Amino acid sequence: MENTIYDFEVKNDKNEITNLSIYKDKVLLIVNTATKCGLTPQYEALEALYEKYKDRGFFVLDFPCNQFLEQAPGTIEEISEFCTLKYNTTFPRFGKIDVNGEDTHPLFAWLKKEKPLDKGGIKAKIFEKTVSKLVKDKKEGDIKWNFGKFLIDRNGKVIERYSPAYKPEKLIKDIEAIL
């Protein structure tokens, strides 16, 4: 049974197996992303967070996911090119991944088990109610939509889970508290 984020392997954007232990002693924000979503502009705020805190050991880990109305189409190369050209992203990107359903990647199964509920607010609840009508076969604890976020401390433990509608800039206080 995995106890920390460091127990997982994922495919990077070059389709190579990467053990997340390379991020040992770092603060991580893990995000399931999409390039054709109303929330896609969050890439800009995610990059701003990464730039602001990377020298202090903070990383945004980008996991494209095509499960929500197929809003992450294309190859990982096409997704990377889009993110780099449109949003100037420089944080690590990984291979496309399933975050819900029978093919859920073990990393996201573990993240959801560790923190089954999103932190949000009124706007997040309204957003989630809207998108819940678009998601079939949803289960308790599932990722609600693109741009669900998990904050991981330097010991590899999940500290918080944030609603997709929760703006990245609102995470500053939580990030600074564990840096």
What are the structural domain ranges in the chain? Answer: 5-178
Q: State yes or no: pLDDT of 2 exceeds 70.
A: no
User: Annotated catalytic residue: which of 10, 20, 28, 37?
Assistant: 37
Number of H helices, E strands in the chain: 5, 6
Q: State yes or no: pLDDT of 82 exceeds 70.
A: yes
Which comes out higher in pLDDT, residue 49 or 1?
A: 49
Residue among 167, 166, 156 nearest 26 (CA): 156
User: What pLDDT was estimated at residue 135?
Assistant: 73
Return d(Cα 14, Cα 2) in angstroms, integer. Answer: 25
* Cβ-contact 33, 65 below 8 angstroms: yes
Out of 3.30.1050.10, 3.40.30.10, 1.20.120.530, 3.50.40.10, select the CATH number for domain 5-178: 3.40.30.10
Return d(Cα 134, Cα 145) in angstroms, integer. Answer: 9
Q: State yes or no: pLDDT of 73 exceeds 80.
A: yes
pLDDT, averaged across the chain: 92
* Cβ-contact 165, 127 below 8 angstroms: yes
> What's the pTM?
0.93
Residue 140, burial from CB neighbour count under 10 angstroms (0-12, 13-18, 19+):
exposed
- For 106-120, what is the mean pLDDT? 93
Q: For the chain, report the end-to-end CA distance as a whole number of angstroms.
A: 27
Catalytic residue check, 65: no
Cα 127 to its chain centre, rounded Å, is 17
pLDDT tens-digit map of 85-97: 999 999 999 999 9
